[in-house]
Amino acid sequence: MMAKIAAVALAAGSMLAAAPASAQKSADTLRVYWRDQITDIDPYYNSLRTGLIVAHHAWDGLVYRDPEGFVMKPLLATAWKWIDDTTLEFELRKGVTFHNGDPFTADDVVYTVKIITDPKSGIAVPSNFTWLAGAEAVDPYRVRLKLKQPFPAALEYVSFVMPIYPMAYRERVGRDVYKREPVGAGPYRITRVDGVNQIDMERYEGYYDGSSKGRPPIKRVVIKEVTDATNEMSALLGGQADWIWQYNPDQFDSIARMPTLTALRQEAFRILHLSIDAAGRSGEKNPLTDARVRRAIFYAVDRQTFARQLVQGGARVPDAPCYFTQFGCDQSAAVHYDYDPAKAKQLLAEAGYPNGFDTEIVSANILSSWSGAVQSYLAAVGIRAKVTTLQAAAAVTRAQKGDAPLYLSSWGSYSINDVSAIIPYFFSGTPDDMARDPEVTAALKQGGSVIDPQARKTAYASAIHRITDQAYWLPISTFTTTYGISRQLNFKTFPDEMPRFFLASWK
């Protein structure tokens, strides 16, 4: 099948050679295609990576984490300091306006924090803000964030997942209108969003001087949300797209040979994982509530071969449920599982399933070759898993409702270089917690509430050991994100998996 796709790609490339590759350069419009449908563009009401990408372009936060070295730089705030262990003060930039012309002040920050800390607000990822108690305006251009307890990773979250709302506009129009006609203070303003197929953005000509993001060289960005990888690839090969990503790695070399295209690859924070319904929420007499069955799954999947042959590009296999560089991600604390199908069969027999059992894998828009490989590995030891592939938002909904025995997905930690951005998301009693283990939850609470680095590491190591010993969450491989772009485009990749179109330019 991959050979057939490659052949089609090469054939399309020969047609592209005669196409006017600079057509959208002349129109100063970057055409982006991806496979996620962002049904709610309001940045706090979707958990999609693509939603976060749009947020970084149309909204600004208080600080900007420079992808070169992960250094914190000014954005809506020009300076910040710790007043005490639980108070972080920001000096705000003057002269900033939102896209509708409203001025930015401390009231907008307080308003945003009030919403994201309200348990009744229904935001998509409340776990991102469990550390935050509230905010208070000292004066119109000075604001203080109040923390529930010491939280050393606070600035990471402020920089990456805390865009600021325009209070006056959002209060006036209401949330339902706001998600259709959003306003932010970022380098691009959204001019069209239909919640299904397309998002249009245009450079905000009133964007403030001194932003660490800078003024976007490209005037317009048009994002097309397509339903599958075939449509996405066809758009790139047919000259309708200037940028795609996360396509099948088997197509990388074929794209690289195209005369009008460039193929790029970058390992990211993202981890492909298999979450297991250890709590038994997906039905009675669930075999997955038995630790022996879960360990059998761990032994059944040849992760090293999966990473090398399917993900490719230097992808690695972590033992711990987190990315290697994240603070607190102690790989040595994890229980190691080799590929051992014989051991898997033995454990299944001991658990009372010598002939295996039937189950389901809910796949969150994962490449079919990848979900098929996991399915085949499990089938080889007797676990017959039907694969149901859904768009990311629909798959998340099923998993959160407890209606996914096995959940194959990926998590990019919102690009936050701290384990607090990944392990608590899946193990803190939230709807995404498929284990519901109070021992793990307690260890994570301890790790997230102390300043001492060694104490944090010790608590997180305890959680990692318990999660892997009980085989709750199988980290299959790191992601090596693939990009296909027009040769007319200057575009740089970063390990935080945040495409910064506001830094892109035409050659």
Q: Is pLDDT at 188 greater than 60 in this prediction?
A: yes
What does the pLDDT average to over 274-281?
97
**pLDDT band per the 50, 70, 90 thresholds, residue 437:** very high
Q: Is pLDDT at 476 greater than 70 in this prediction?
A: yes
User: How many other CB atoms are there within 10 angstroms of residue 57's CB atom?
Assistant: 24
Grouping H, G, I as helix, E, B as strand and the rest as coil, residue 284 is coil
Give the model's pLDDT for residue 92: 98
We find that the CATH architecture of domain 267-480 is: Roll (3.10)
In this predicted model, what pLDDT tens digit does every residue of 116-157 receive, in sequence order?
A: 999 999 999 898 999 999 999 999 999 999 999 888 889 999
Residues of the chain with CATH 3.90.76.10: 38-176
**pLDDT band per the 50, 70, 90 thresholds, residue 459:** very high
Rounded to two decimals, the pTM is 0.79
Give the model's pLDDT for residue 228: 86
**pLDDT band per the 50, 70, 90 thresholds, residue 269:** confident
Q: Does CATH number 3.90.76.10 belong to domain 38-176?
A: yes
Residues of the chain with CATH 3.10.105.10: 267-480
Q: Is pLDDT at 83 greater than 50 in this prediction?
A: yes
What does the pLDDT average to over 210-225?
97
Q: Is pLDDT at 85 greater than 80 in this prediction?
A: yes
Helices (H) and strands (E) in the chain, counts: 16, 18
Q: Is pLDDT at 467 greater than 50 in this prediction?
A: yes
What does the pLDDT average to over 342-355?
98
**pLDDT band per the 50, 70, 90 thresholds, residue 91:** very high
Give the model's pLDDT for residue 23: 52
What does the pLDDT average to over 312-320?
96
Alpha helices (runs of H) in 39-165, residue ranges in sequence order: 49-58, 106-116, 154-161
Axis-axis angle for helices 291-300, 341-350 (nearest 10): 160
Please give the angle made by the CA atoms of 255, 256 and 258, to the nearest 5 degrees.
65
Q: Which residue has the tokens 């905000």?
A: 204
